[in-house]
Amino acid sequence: MLSYIARRISVAIPLLLCITFITFAMMHLAPGGLSGVFVGARVRREEDRMAIIRHYGLDQPFPVRYARWLGRMFRGDFGHSLVYRRPVLEMVVERIPATLQLTIPAMLVSVLVAIPIGILSAIRQYSIADMLSTFFAFLFVSTPSFFLGLVAILVLSVHLGWLPISGMSTLGLQDPSWWVAFVDRLRHLVIPAGIVLGLGFTAGLIRYVRASMLEVIHQDYIRTAQSKGLRGYVVVWKHALRNSLLPVVTILGLWVPFILSGAMIAETISAWPGMGRLAVSAVFARDYPVVMATLLMVAAMTVLGNLLADLAYAILDPRIRYG
Amino acid sequence: MAVIKKKSTFLAIFWRQFSRNRMALAGGMLVVFFTVIAILAPFLAPHDPRTPNIRNRMQPPSEEHLLGTDALGRDMLSRTIHGARISLLIAVLAVALSITIGILLGSLAGYYGGLFDSLLMRFVDLVLSFPTLYLLITLVALVGPSIFMLVLVMGGLGWTGTARIVRAEFLRLREQEFSEAARAIGAGNLRIMFRHLLPNAMAPIIVATTLGVPGVILGESALSFLGLGVLPPEMSWGTLVNAGLPFFRTAWWLPIFPGLAIFLCVLGFNFLGDGLRDALDPRLKR
């Protein structure tokens, strides 16, 4: 097990290095990329231009620039934001908790809702419940998440006034107790996490759990268990569930990038101060050091998600004992 | 006289499977519906989508303007109809690009294997480690948002899934007897790849193509929603939603109808793709 973990991590590290290279190359080689932004159109005098180019090391060959940048990054120096003049790392790190507060509850609720529905759908294949769940899964997989968010805000917030329109918390709550603050945060989470992120994710997951469960319940050992006279629910919940949930664990890891993309939309709709919104505003402001840092951060989170899913798979599946 | 049994042809079997699936049929109809709208947009639109009419601004849906009018008094129905053009055009071109790249790289990797295969698959892993939307907004910001660049960026990023599918199919097919037979009668590598293996891999490719279109439509609409996709005066459905956003509390019809169009079109392609998968892929039959 330990050596398996070590091997998986040793694969992840070169992948992360390649990610840093791609990100750097994209930013520096693209027309209109970093070099142009640093110098800027307002710098007229040739000496000034050269001074800036030298200051940022832009006169060095590409590999040297990459190596220097990588070295600075390992020391935690991601550069300064061109707009806010603040260390980039600080700006990105302070946004991570908000994104996690959005994505983790969304994933948890989706998993809790999707697994029972998906299983029910599979064991009662072609029943009315199955058709309904398949139909709704299709519906929500096909709806652009921002559209769901718009409709939800229009109906639930603007017309009914049940939920806050945007933001993370109500302004001007005087010294709220933790309980009041918690409920307030939950109310702010319903639209971005529950509806914008959660519905599409739940729908995709239902389809996945259903397919995975269908595959398992047609296998021989399930028939064996049934013919031994075990009750239906024992077969389903003990024999089939465990094996059908294995691929679900993997898919949760693989879906980390989709969730982060979805979070960008949710954060934009609900003015949620997370990384996605930081990335969007940085792209608009051409604040490339911030854009690079967010790209690196989300890619690293994706790699980490895949790694955790692999490890969970190895722990859960006794058939796999990696030497 | 030989009796040709109709049911034995591939198309007949396919059609029997497919037409039994009501969701797939409905999806196919939606796809045809939106395709016709996109092609015939100038003839179907009741008004000019670009002519402002300030006196008529912000009209809710009425008999004259079925989907209302926008902040400049332009007819939303006509704008949504013309939006179908851009949205579908981008989707079709980007998918064509990504499928072509995916088939070429996937078949080379699957057929030859070796170093190229492992390098390509590592590269696919690398591309997939970036959340798509983050990569898209960065690239679009670097190269500048235009319809051409959107097609290039989304097509250039979208081929990984197809490449994986084609590679897996080729790995399976190249070991089969018919490809050995082709080699035995002296067919060259290219001929085996594209005359013998590729036609046998078409089913999953067709499914991937059909399911690729809604992916691009959603991607483009998300980008346009963020303000980084198709820019006005060009109009895609996503752009129309974005343009309606500032007014949506008072003029709900501005973002809702183009959003609904995206939803229905994507739903149609998803139904169709899923039905095609069931009808084309004998391994999934139960």
Give residue-wise pLDDT tens across range B88-102.
999 999 999 999 999
- Cβ neighbours of B125 in A, within 8 Å: 15
- Kindly state whether A258 is in contact with chain B, defined as any CB-CB distance less than 8 angstroms: yes
Q: Tell me what the pLDDT averaged over chain A comes to.
A: 83
Asked if A295 and B126 come within 8 Å (Cβ–Cβ), the reply is no
Residue B282 has what DSSP assignment? G
- Cβ neighbours of A32 in B, within 8 Å: 142-144
Lowest average pLDDT, out of A105-114, B180-189, B277-286, goes to B277-286
- pLDDT for B130 equals 87
Query: Most confidently modeled of A23-32, B45-54, B119-128?
Result: B119-128
- Enclosing H/E stretch for A88: helix A88-93
- How far apart (Å, rounded) are the C-alpha atoms in residues B150 and A21? 23
- pLDDT for A277 equals 92
- How far apart (Å, rounded) are the C-alpha atoms in residues A201 and B21? 25
Select from A99, A49, A156, A65 the least CA-distant residue to B134. Answer: A99
- Kindly state whether B152 is in contact with chain A, defined as any CB-CB distance less than 8 angstroms: no
- How far apart (Å, rounded) are the C-alpha atoms in residues A92 and A294? 7
Stretch A126-143: mean pLDDT, rounded? Answer: 88
A-B CB pairs within 8 A amount to 138
Asked if B142 and A26 come within 8 Å (Cβ–Cβ), the reply is yes
The percent of residues in chain A predicted with pLDDT above 90, rounded, is 12
- How far apart (Å, rounded) are the C-alpha atoms in residues A236 and A118? 12
Neighbour-count burial for A169-187, b at 16+ CB within 10 Å, e otherwise:
eeeeeeeeeeeeeeebeee
Which band of pLDDT confidence, cut at 50, 70 and 90, is reported for residue B283? Answer: low
- Kindly state whether B214 is in contact with chain A, defined as any CB-CB distance less than 8 angstroms: yes
Q: Which residue of B has its CA nearest to A157?
A: B249
Which band of pLDDT confidence, cut at 50, 70 and 90, is reported for residue A11? Answer: confident
Q: Which tens digit of pLDDT belongs to each residue from B221-273?
A: 999 888 888 887 888 898 888 888 888 778 888 888 899 999 999 999 999 98
What does pTM read for this prediction? 0.86
- Cβ neighbours of A285 in B, within 8 Å: none
Query: Most confidently modeled of A22-31, A314-323, B88-97?
Result: B88-97
Asked if B225 and A144 come within 8 Å (Cβ–Cβ), the reply is yes
- pLDDT for B139 equals 85
- Cβ neighbours of A144 in B, within 8 Å: 218, 221-222, 225, 238, 241, 259, 262-263, 266
Those residues with Cβ within 8 angstroms of residue A317's Cβ, 6 or more apart along the chain or in another chain: A246
Q: Which residue of A has its CA nearest to B223?
A: A265
- Cβ neighbours of A139 in B, within 8 Å: 267
Q: Are B163 and B106 in contact (CB under 8 A)?
A: yes
- Cβ neighbours of B128 in A, within 8 Å: 257, 302
Does the pLDDT value for residue A15 go beyond 70?
Answer: yes
Asked if A32 and B267 come within 8 Å (Cβ–Cβ), the reply is no
Longest dimension (CA), chain B: 77
- How far apart (Å, rounded) are the C-alpha atoms in residues B92 and B34? 13
Select from B110, B99, B238, B202 the least CA-distant residue to B160. Answer: B99
Asked if A265 and B270 come within 8 Å (Cβ–Cβ), the reply is no
**B69: β partners:** B75
Mutation target to probe the A interface, by most A beta carbons within 10 A, among B130, B152, B223 is B130
- pLDDT for B267 equals 92
- Cβ neighbours of A281 in B, within 8 Å: none
Residue A317 has what DSSP assignment? -
- pLDDT for B1 equals 46
Token pair 């600080």 is found at A90
Asked if B267 and A138 come within 8 Å (Cβ–Cβ), the reply is yes
Select from A189, A205, A206 the least CA-distant residue to A258. Answer: A205
Tokens of B52: 């402002």
Domains along chain B with CATH numbers: 27-35+72-284 (1.10.3720.10)
DSSP string, B162-217: HHHHHHHHHHHHTTSHHHHHHHHTT--HHHIIIIIIHHHTHHHHHHHHHHHHHHHH
- pLDDT for B5 equals 52
Token pair 């790694």 is found at A307
- How far apart (Å, rounded) are the C-alpha atoms in residues A263 and A272? 9
Q: Tell me what the pLDDT averaged over chain B comes to.
A: 84
The percent of residues in chain A predicted with pLDDT above 70, rounded, is 93
- Cβ neighbours of A146 in B, within 8 Å: 221-222, 225, 241, 259
- Kindly state whether A36 is in contact with chain B, defined as any CB-CB distance less than 8 angstroms: no
Which band of pLDDT confidence, cut at 50, 70 and 90, is reported for residue A315? Answer: confident
Distances (CA, A) of A159 to B140, B241, B248: 36, 20, 12
Asked if A22 and B126 come within 8 Å (Cβ–Cβ), the reply is yes
Q: Is the interface score ipTM higher than 0.90?
A: no
Q: Are B87 and B259 in contact (CB under 8 A)?
A: no
Asked if B134 and A295 come within 8 Å (Cβ–Cβ), the reply is yes
Q: Report CA A246 to chain centroid distance, whole Å.
A: 20
Strand ranges in chain B using DSSP code E only, listed in sequence order: none
Handedness of CA B7, B12, B18, B19 (dihedral sign): negative
Which band of pLDDT confidence, cut at 50, 70 and 90, is reported for residue A39? Answer: low
Which band of pLDDT confidence, cut at 50, 70 and 90, is reported for residue B281? Answer: low
Q: What are phi and psi of A56, to 5 degrees?
A: -90, 5
Asked if A18 and B126 come within 8 Å (Cβ–Cβ), the reply is yes
Tokens of B102: 């995916």
Q: What are phi and psi of A127, to 5 degrees?
A: -75, 175
If DSSP codes are grouped into helix, strand and coil, which group holds residue B134? Answer: helix
Longest dimension (CA), chain A: 88
Residue of B155 and A1 predicted with greater confidence:
B155
- pLDDT for B44 equals 80
- Residue B185: CB atoms within 10 A of its CB come to 6
Residue of A57 and B106 predicted with greater confidence:
B106
- How far apart (Å, rounded) are the C-alpha atoms in residues A252 and B42? 45
Q: Which tens digit of pLDDT belongs to each residue from A209-249?
A: 888 888 887 777 777 877 787 777 777 777 777 777 787 88
Tokens of A174: 């005087």
